[in-house]
Amino acid sequence: MKHKQPKMMKMGWLSAAVVLSLYTTSVWAFSIDDVAKQAKSLAGKAYEAPKSNLPSLFRDMKYADYQQIQFNHEKAYWNKIKTPFKLEFYHQGMYFDTPVVINEVTANSVRRIKYSPDYFTFGNVKHDKDSVKDLGFAGFKVLYPVNSKDKQDEIASFLGASYFRMIGAGQTYGLSARGLAIDTALPSGEEFPRFREFWIERPKANEKRITIFALLDSPRATGAYRFVVIPGRDTVVNVQSKVYLRDKVGKLGVAPLTSMFLFGPNQPSPTTNFRPELHDSNGLSIQAGNGEWIWRPLNNPKRLAVSSYATENPKGFGLLQRGRQFARFEDLDDRYDKRPSAWVTPVGDWGKGRVELVEIPTNDETNDNIVAYWTPDQLPAAGKEMNYKYNITFSRDEEKLHAADSAQVVQTRRSTGDVKQSNLIRQPDGTIAFVVDFAGPAMKKLAENTPVTAQTSIGDNGEIVENSVRYNPVTKGWRLTLRVKLKDDKKTTDMRAALVNGDQTLSETWSYQLPANE
């Protein structure tokens, strides 16, 4: 005699099956927590430095030779899958001498993408195929049709340490972002964490974003990262990070940006150059926690310089390329006018800390010499988790990265200070002059006769001998002229200025550091 199961029992079995099904599905729902488990485990162990597996031919090659090793576009990963995103990989070579592990995440699996020399063309680089068959990838790039529907454009690149670059429509690569910076500009020397492994989710056919996970490792820190890249006119990446310290660090740089400034109107080229400006970024912009906007023009100093801006719960900061007219650069090859600005928007409260700017001397444009990041006042004990979420916007529309009701600095020009004599001839008077133009949507609505003045200050090493403001009919803004006299030109000199109309602040704060002349 068959024994019947009660209906309630059958429903229980069904419920259990559903639960089991859901649980099975969730096993393959790869998340940042899966990476964080590895990062936390690593943080509790001694650091193991990565070992190079490069043959000497590839390790000792020059940049021109490395450039000959190109990915074969016909073999782009996901080429035969219906998705708007494609992947291409970087070959190891030069200082990219240790492999990174790259995995593909699908709806039900995680699979390592294996290296093959067949992915690449090697140009004139003569090599033994057997010597490279077991190498790995140095990094990867993401392709997406951001400019036109029928052309794949490179929109993101992850290569070297924890560096990554992204661009939107009509942009060319310029500044970089990083996962983490440790002890930047400290006498002990900087530590460069690296992304040692990546997990990339395969996007669906109609997907307009791509998700990338990364495991970070260094002698004193580990971390798990999640990047959601959304390409477009502005390319935006949503970043979530979970960081664990192995050991005490002197300074932690969160959401670091790295760029290049060689010369510009505030610091003209010391040698004759047909290009008026040469830089990937020309200023650090900050929206402090109290709402104040600050603009700090960049320098190429003769010695290392560090500037700090203390603020609680910053609303945003970034390295910007303000002023995009081609005439400002006149460079047909490198197109600095097309290089993006990068703006970091914190998600949630970051607490007390400071935005820090590091400027490093450089003699040419091949070296990144500018670093900006957030550094917290208090760091947790080793092993304790730090969480930081933020968005980075890569844009050429700098006006969108600034409040419309606050005028911004559109240019800073440095000149020899002088006075006009009775015969109209200008006579240098031993001062340094700064001409600063402010403009913006709200300022354009002001009448020309509005009594705009400037609130200014200077450090102990200088004296302001002229502070004059006049209407600029070209920009429909106001121009500030400052003449300053230095006590010792071998010391740095800090200045600040903002435009006001009575009690009303009209502009962001122009915060400038005149480098030491030595």
Whole-angstrom distance, CA of residue 455 vs CA of residue 511 = 12
Token couple for 82: 């219906």
Higher local confidence (pLDDT), 393 or 1: 393
Give the mean model confidence (pLDDT) for residues 471-479. Answer: 97
Lowest mean pLDDT among 10-24, 69-83, 104-118, 471-485: 10-24
At residue 10, the pLDDT reads 36
Task: Give yes or no for a contact between 461 and 516, defined as CB atoms under 8 angstroms apart.
Answer: no
For the stretch 194-207, pLDDT in tens is: 999 999 999 999 99
- Enumerate the H helices of 84-222 as residue ranges: 129-132
Kindly give, in sequence order, each residue whose CB lies less than 8 Å from that of residue 39, ignoring residues fewer than 6 positions away: 215, 216, 217, 222, 223, 224, 242, 243, 244
Q: Are 435 and 468 in contact (CB under 8 A)?
A: no
Tens of pLDDT, residues 417-463? 988 888 888 888 999 999 999 999 999 999 999 999 999 999 999 99
**β-strand 293-297 against 509-514: which pairing, if any?**
parallel
Euclidean distance between CA atoms 142 and 401, whole angstroms = 25
Q: How confident is the model at residue 2 (pLDDT cuts 50, 70, 90)?
A: very low
Higher pLDDT, 28 or 371: 371
CA–CA separation, 506 and 63 (whole Å): 49
pLDDT at 382: 87
Distance (Å) of CA 373 to CA 21, 179, 254, 304: 45, 11, 6, 16
**Structural domains in the chain plus CATH codes:** 32-401 (2.70.98.10), 408-514 (2.60.40.10)
Q: Please, which pLDDT band fits residue 127 given cuts at 50, 70 and 90?
A: confident
Average pLDDT over residues 465-494: 97
58-103 confidence digits (pLDDT tens): 999 999 999 999 999 999 999 999 999 999 999 999 999 999 999 9
pTM: 0.92
177-203: average pLDDT:
97
pLDDT (tens digit per residue) in 14-53 = 344 444 434 444 446 899 999 999 999 999 999 999 999 9
Q: Where are the beta strands (DSSP E) in 269-351?
A: 278-279, 283-287, 293-297, 305-312, 316-320, 341-347
Higher pLDDT, 349 or 380: 349
Beta bridge partners of 215: 197, 224
| 476-488 average pLDDT score | 97
Q: 77: which DSSP letter?
A: B
What's the pLDDT at 509? 98
Whole-number pLDDT of residue 28: 60
The mean predicted confidence, pLDDT, of the chain is: 93
Digit-coded pLDDT (tens) for 312-347: 999 999 999 999 999 999 999 999 999 999 999 999
Confidence of residue 518 (pLDDT cuts 50, 70, 90): low
Query: Which pLDDT value is given to residue 103?
Result: 98
Pair 139, 115: CB distance under 8 Å: no
pLDDT at 4 over 90: no
- What are 279-296's pLDDT values in tens digits? 999 999 999 999 999 999
Between CA 182 and CA 197 the distance in angstroms is 20
Q: Mean of the pLDDT values across residues 479-483?
A: 98
